[in-house]
């Protein structure tokens, strides 16, 4: 188990899957962790809470899919309701983080890393969560920020 209270977890909520990423203990680097197949809210929340406990997470960042112009559309409202309900059951704080273009960035990183299309489909949600998380981590430490995610870090 990871050292308690040192990591941040990010979630990329999709209609059928939830991409999960986690930071290193220094909160510098994000990496994709897994993809959860969506089931019921209760089952999803239990699985997420278990990952929080297992990895010593003390903050969960949920990708908030705003429109390109920054407005909050139907999908963003659905994610917000889901995140509000999840926050009620998690033992750690949860925040929403703008995730505009995270999936297309993740796709490009996986292409650059040479991942075949079949493998990209299976991992895209987790890699998108890593993109969201890296963006969040970089914003928290602007003096140490990275302007890119190295394609070799894509799992």
Residue 30 burial by Cβ neighbours in a 10 Å radius (0-12, 13-18, 19+) = buried
Which tens digits make up the pLDDT trace of 104-126?
665 666 566 666 666 656 667 88
How far apart CA 25 and CA 105 sit, in angstroms, is 24
Which tens digits make up the pLDDT trace of 14-64?
889 999 999 999 999 999 999 999 999 999 999 999 999 999 999 999 999
The whole-number pLDDT of residue 52 equals: 97
Global confidence as pTM: 0.79
More confident residue, 4 or 78: 78
Q: Which domains does the chain have, with CATH numbers?
A: 7-143 (3.30.420.140)
């Amino acid at each position: 188990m990871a050292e308690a209270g040192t990591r941040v977890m990010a979630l990329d909520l999709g209609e059928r899957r939830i991409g999960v990423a986690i930071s290193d203990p220094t909160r510098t680097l994000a990496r994709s962790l897994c993809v959860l197949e969506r089931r019921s809210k209760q089952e999803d929340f239990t699985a997420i809470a278990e990952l929080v406990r297992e990895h010593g997470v003390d903050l969960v960042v949920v990708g908030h899919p705003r429109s390109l112009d920054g407005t909050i559309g139907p999908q963003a409202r659905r994610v917000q309701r889901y995140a509000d309900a999840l926050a009620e059951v998690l033992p750690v704080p949860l925040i929403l983080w703008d995730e505009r273009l995270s999936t297309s960035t993740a796709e490009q990183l996986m292409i650059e890393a040479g991942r075949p299309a079949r493998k990209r489909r299976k991992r895209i949600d987790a890699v998108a969560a890593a993109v969201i998380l890296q963006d969040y981590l970089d914003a928290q430490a602007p003096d140490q920020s990275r302007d890119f995610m190295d394609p070799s870090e894509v799992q």
